[in-house]
Amino acid sequence: MFTLSLLAVVPQTLAWNPSVALVMLICNILAIAFARYTVQRQNDGPSAPALPFLGETSLGFLIGAICFGHILGTGAILGLSNLGVL
């Protein structure tokens, strides 16, 4: 009974399409740029794979920035879908 009431609260989400992917990509790029200018110790820990736009950064920096980008992207996708834009 509790499961049925919980399902009534869960919002409908969009199916994957290229516009959803584009929003997620833009949010990840913005998060990496934000982290690049705000994180003070980017080189602590094991090094990340060599990506030309990142320079010399740590794996922890890369994972943290991309996690933050996915949080931003999820919020942006849900917000834009509720507004009817996506």
pLDDT tens by residue, the chain, 86 residues: 556 666 666 666 778 889 999 999 999 999 988 988 887 776 666 666 666 666 677 778 888 889 999 999 999 998 898 888 88
Is residue 5 one of the residues assigned to a domain?
A: no
Residue 69 belongs to what domain range?
Answer: 19-83
**Residue 76 is encoded by which pair of tokens?**
């942006």
Is residue 78 one of the residues assigned to a domain?
A: yes
List Cα–Cα distances, 83 to 4, 30, 57, 69, 70, in angstroms.
27, 22, 37, 21, 20
Is residue 3 one of the residues assigned to a domain?
A: no
| Phi, psi at 47, each rounded to 5° | -75, 150
**Residue 12 is encoded by which pair of tokens?**
């409908």
Would you say the pTM of this structure is higher than 0.85?
A: no
Is residue 6 one of the residues assigned to a domain?
A: no
Total number of domains in the chain: 1
Is residue 10 one of the residues assigned to a domain?
A: no
